[in-house]
Structure 1
Amino acid sequence: MFENVLVGVSFSSDNRGVNALGIGALIRLKQNNQSNDVTVINFSKEEKIVEHDIWMHGSYKKVKVYHFSSKTLLKALSALWFNRFPNKLALIIKQAKTIYTVNEGDSFSDIYGLKRLLFWCFIAMLPIIGKKRLVFLPQTIGPFNTFIGKMMSKYILKSAQVIYVRDEQGKKYLEEGSISHTLSCDMAVFMPPKKVLIEVPEKCVGININGLLYYESYGIIQGRYSHYKKIIVDLIHEALKNNYKVLLVPHTYNVNSPGNEDDLKATREIYDSLRHPDVLIIDSDYDAQELKYFISKCEVFYGSRMHSCIAALSSTVPTVGLAYSYKFTGTFGLFNQSQWVFDIENITEAEIPAFIIKITRIFDDLQNIKKELIDMKSEMEKKYLEGK
C-alpha cells in the first residue's frame, strides 16, 4: 500500500516554487514507477490527512497527503530503532520499498540554521533505521558550515542508495566527499501548466518581483539589494519604451495574509507607483500550475525567484535570471542558458543603466534561444530519474 513514499514536498505552500517541485516530483515518480502508488508525507503542527486536487494528464487527480507532527516523527524513529510499538508513520515506513526525499528543494543545508537541518536529518533517518531504500531527488545539497552539519549530512548521504543534485556547486561538494551522485534537473520542470481563462496579450514581457529582495527582510541579505526596486522599475520602462506590454507575476505570496517577503505585496507597490495601461498584474490566488500557464504565454521572462524561472525555461520561454543565489546558475546551466544569469547583489545605482542594456540583449536572439530551449526540454523529457 505504501510502496513509494515522497517526503519534503508541499502542495499548499505560499511559495509556489515548493509546490511546483512537489507536483513535478509526484508526476515523475508516477511515470517512472508506472503506478499511482505514491504516498506523500508532510510535517506540520496539526496531524491530519488532506486531499489535494492536482492537475495531471489533462484532468484533476486526488492526492492524499499524510501530515505528522515532530513528536510523531521522534516516536517513529524510536519505534523503528527498537522494533516495537509502531505508530502510523513507522508503519508506513515499514511497508515502504523506497523513500524519496526533496527536502523542500534546498533545506538539506545548514545555511538556514542547524535546527532546520537536524529536522530534515531526522526525517532522512526514517528509511535508514528502517532499512529502506533512500533516494534524494534533484535538489540543492549543502553548504554545511557547522561540525554537526558536516558529520550528520555525510553519514546520511553515504547511507542513501541514490542521490540526484540539481546544481554544479552541490555536485562539487558530493565529489569532494566521494559520494556517488547524478546531476539532474529540478523536478518542477515536469509540472504541466493549467490553462486559465484569461488572455495574456501578445508581445508581453513577464517579470517576477521577489519580495525577499524588495524588502530585504531576511537577515543575511539586508543591505545587499538596495537598488533592486530601481532595477525592476527601469526594466519595466525599457520594455514599455520598446512597445512591449508587461505582466507582473508574483510567485511566493498570500493574497489574504502577506508575510514580510511577499511577492504580491511588493508587486502591488510597483504596479501602483506606475499606473500604466500596458503594465498588467497577476493579483489573485493562482496555484503553481496556473502561474506557469501565465508565464508560458510571455515572449520573454525576467525572474528573481528561481522556480518562476524554471516555469519559464521549461515552457521554452527565453528567460533572464536576476539571481541572488548560486542555485540560478546550476539550473540555467542544465538548459544551456547560464549566460542569462546575472548576479544583482550590491549593484550600485550608477551601474544600473549598463546593467539594463546587458539584460535586455536577450531580445536580439530570441529565435535561437527558443529553439535551444525546445531541444533541451525534449531531451529532458526523454530521460527517467532512474535507469536512464
Structure 2
Amino acid sequence: MTNNSIIGFWGLSFNSGNMGCNALSYSFLHILGRCTTQKLKVYVFYQGNDFDTKLLSTDKITVVSASYNPRSLSSMKTLVKRVKECVISFDFTAGDSFSDIYGMKGFIKSCLLKKMAMRYSGKFVLGPQTYGPYYHKIAQKIAKDIIVNADYACSRDNASAEYVNSLFGIKMDVFTDVAFALPFVNGHTLPKTKKKVGINVSGLLWRGGYTGNNQFGLKVDYRSYIKALIKELEKQVNIDVYIIPHVVSVNGAESDYAVSEQIAKEYTHVHLAPRFNNPIEAKSFIAEMDVFTGARMHATIGAFSAGVVTIPFSYSRKFEGLYENLGYPYTINARQLSTQEAVDRTLDYIKNHDKLKIAQMKSFSVIEDKLKQFEINVTKLLNE
C-alpha cells in the first residue's frame, strides 16, 4: 500500500440518524488511523446525499463522501469507477444487518453491493459483525457465497462464528465490536445528588418492529415493560431517570426520539436527553449515567465501554453473542422472559449493580485484547 491509497467503507455511515451505525463508523475510522503510517483516502459508499466530511478527515486520512443513486445510470457508473480505485474494501453491514431478520429485500440489496465491492475492489473484507440468522434457504446460499469469496471475514462474537461454521463449514476469527473503541468526553455536567439511571427506549421495538406485529418474536410486551420499569424507578427517591434516544431521526419506524418525547411528557420526574449530533456526543452523555439499560446494541456498547454499569435488553441473539463473548451474562432476554420477569430482573440488576460492575471490569481486558488483535490483522491486510 502506498501514500494516497484508497480504502472503501461499506455498511458504515457517518450521517445517519442512528447513532449506533455512526458509532461503528467513527470507531473503525479511528482504528484505521492507528493501523497505517501512510496517507489514505477513504470512500464512504452509501445511498443518499453527500455529507460534509471536513470534521472526519485528519492529517493521515482524507474522507470522501461517495454517495450513489441506484436509479441513476451515471451515478452507478461513477460508483463502479470509484470501487475499482479501492485497494481494499471493508464491509460491516451496520454491525448486525448481514441477516434476513430485518427482511429479504434489504438483505438482497446489501448483498448485491457486497458482490460489486468484491468484484471490483483489490480486496474485500467483512469486518467484525453478527452473521445471521438466515431463515430463508436463498439467504443462506447468498451469505455462504459472499463469506467464502471474501478475502477475509471475521466475527464480533463466538455465537456468530459457530453459527457460520455449523451452517457452512467456514471457520473465522472472532474479535469484538469495534464501537468499543469510540472516544468520548465525560464532562460531568449533570447533577450528582442522585443515582442516574439511563433508559434507551427503542422506537423500533415500541412499534413492534418494521412489520408492527412483534416482528422479533418477543415474549416481553415492550411498552408495558418500559412503563412498569419507569413507574418503579420513579418511586425511588434516590434515583433520577433519563430517557436517552439513540436513533434521533425525526420520523420513521426506527426513530427513538418521538417515542422518548412522548414518554418524557407522561412522567413528571423523567429527564429527556438532547438530540445528539454524532455518536461521540451520545456516548459522552451516556457516560454520565451510573446505570444504563437499553435495546439499542450500540447504545449499550457506548455505556459499557464508558464504564457505566450496563443492562442490555436483548431482542435478538446478537446481544448474548456479544456480551457472553466478553464474560458478561447480565442481559435481559426478551425472547425468553415474561414482561414481569424482565421488569423484576432489570430492577434487581439496578439494585445490585456492584455485582455487574465487577464482571464489567473483568471484561475490559478482554475487549482490549480483542481490539488489539483486530488492529494487528487490519495492519497486515493494509500492508499485504
TM-score over 0.5 (shorter chain): yes
Counterpart amino acid of residue 53 in structure 1: L
Say if 1:68 and 1:50 are closer, same or farther in 2 by CA, change over 3 A: farther
Unmatched runs of 5 consecutive residues or more in structure 1: 77-86
Counterpart amino acid of residue 155 in structure 1: D
What does 1:1-388 correspond to in 2, within 5 Å? 1-46=4-49, 48=50, 50-51=52-53, 53-54=55-56, 63-71=63-71, 87-130=77-120, 132-176=122-166, 177-194=168-185, 198-199=189-190, 201=192, 203-219=195-211, 221=214, 224=218, 227-240=221-234, 241=236, 243-254=238-249, 257-276=250-269, 279-337=270-328, 339-345=329-335, 348=338, 351=341, 354-365=344-355, 367-387=357-377
CA offset digits 1:38-71 (Å, max 9, x no partner): 413323255x4642524989xxx87322112225
Give the match for residue 82 of structure 1.
Answer: none
Unmatched runs of 5 consecutive residues or more in structure 2: 379-384
CA offset digits 1:238-291 (Å, max 9, x no partner): 44416122222110122xx32244212222222211111xx3211334321101
CA contact (8 A) 1:73 1:89 kept: no
Counterpart amino acid of residue 88 in structure 2: T
Counterpart amino acid of residue 27 in structure 1: H
SS at match of 1:28: helix
Counterpart amino acid of residue 289 in structure 1: I
SS at match of 1:97: strand
CA contact (8 A) 1:317 1:373 kept: no
Q: What TM-score does the superposition give when structure 1 sets the normalisation length?
A: 0.84
Say if 1:75 and 1:118 are closer, same or farther in 2 by CA, change over 3 A: farther
CA offset digits 1:7-45 (Å, max 9, x no partner): 111111111101111111111122123344141332325
Aligned alpha-carbon RMSD (Å): 3.0
Say if 1:73 and 1:304 are closer, same or farther in 2 by CA, change over 3 A: farther
Alpha-carbon distance between aligned partners in 1 of 2:14 and 2:121, rounded to the nearest angstrom: 28
Q: Which range moves more in the overlay, 165-174 or 131-140?
A: 165-174
Counterpart amino acid of residue 204 in structure 1: K
Alpha-carbon distance between aligned partners in 2 of 1:350 and 1:365, rounded to the nearest angstrom: 22
Counterpart amino acid of residue 20 in structure 1: A
SS at match of 1:164: strand
CA contact (8 A) 1:214 1:225 kept: no
Say if 1:125 and 1:341 are closer, same or farther in 2 by CA, change over 3 A: same
Say if 1:146 and 1:73 are closer, same or farther in 2 by CA, change over 3 A: farther
Alpha-carbon distance between aligned partners in 2 of 1:309 and 1:285, rounded to the nearest angstrom: 16
Counterpart amino acid of residue 229 in structure 1: R
CA contact (8 A) 2:42 2:62 kept: no
Give the match for residue 382 of structure 2.
Answer: none
Alpha-carbon distance between aligned partners in 2 of 1:21 and 1:353, rounded to the nearest angstrom: 29
Say if 1:36 and 1:27 are closer, same or farther in 2 by CA, change over 3 A: farther
CA contact (8 A) 1:6 1:38 kept: no
Say if 1:369 and 1:300 are closer, same or farther in 2 by CA, change over 3 A: farther
Give the drift of 1:2. 4.2
The number of residues matched between the two structures is: 369
Alpha-carbon distance between aligned partners in 1 of 2:197 and 2:342, rounded to the nearest angstrom: 19
Give the drift of 1:293. 0.5
Alpha-carbon distance between aligned partners in 2 of 1:370 and 1:166, rounded to the nearest angstrom: 18
CA offset digits 1:202-228 (Å, max 9, x no partner): 631111111122232522525846632
CA contact (8 A) 1:234 1:356 kept: no
Counterpart amino acid of residue 294 in structure 2: G
Give the drift of 1:122. 2.0
Give the drift of 1:315. 1.2
Counterpart amino acid of residue 229 in structure 2: L
Alpha-carbon distance between aligned partners in 1 of 2:102 and 2:36, rounded to the nearest angstrom: 33
SS at match of 1:283: coil
Say if 1:89 and 1:23 are closer, same or farther in 2 by CA, change over 3 A: same
Give the drift of 1:109. 1.9
Give the drift of 1:381. 4.7
Which protein, 1 or 2, shows the higher relative CO under an 8 Å CA cutoff with sep ≥ 6?
2
Counterpart amino acid of residue 208 in structure 1: N
CA contact (8 A) 1:323 1:341 kept: yes
Counterpart amino acid of residue 267 in structure 1: S
